[in-house]
Structure 1
Amino acid sequence: MPQMAPISWLILFIVFTITLILFNILNYYCVLPKNLMTSEKKSQINTNPLNWKW
């Protein structure tokens, strides 16, 4: 839209940039790592030998 003033383009850019940054920060910190469950699964996998029956 060439009729729009440059200041409104700048405000739009700032608003969308802040929205994108907030969205990424919220997605990054909402995921909780599951270290305890993965270590338990690894120990279970290592203790059980694989017996292939062909």
Structure 2
Amino acid sequence: MPQMAPLLWLNLFIFFCSSLILFFIFNYFLPPLTKMKPSPKHQTTKELNWKW
């Protein structure tokens, strides 16, 4: 039935807008993940520094 096609696109548009709004809200309120810095005791001292 071609009469139902606008309702389908309206539902898809509403779903897209709501997911886009949720994406922006989560990106705004959630802090970015921080990478753990390796401690200096795990670094190998065998390698020579090539920058003098």
Question: TM-score, normalising length from structure 2?
Answer: 0.51
**Which 4+ residue blocks in structure 1 deviate beyond 4 angstroms?**
none
- Mapping 1:3-14, distance limit 5 Å: 5-14=3-12
In the alignment, structure 1 segments of 5+ residues that lack a partner are: 34-54
What percent identity do the matched residue pairs reach? 17
| Aligned residue pairs, count | 29
Read off the aligned partner of 2:13 and give its amino acid letter.
V
Distance 2:18 2:24 in 1: 10
The Cα shift of 1:32 comes to: 4.6
In the alignment, which residue of structure 1 is the partner of 2:26? Answer: 28
What RMSD in Å do the two structures reach over aligned CA positions? 1.1
CA displacement, residues 3-51 of structure 1 (integer Å, 9 cap, x when unaligned):
xx10000000000000000000000001153xxxxxxxxxxxxxxxxxx
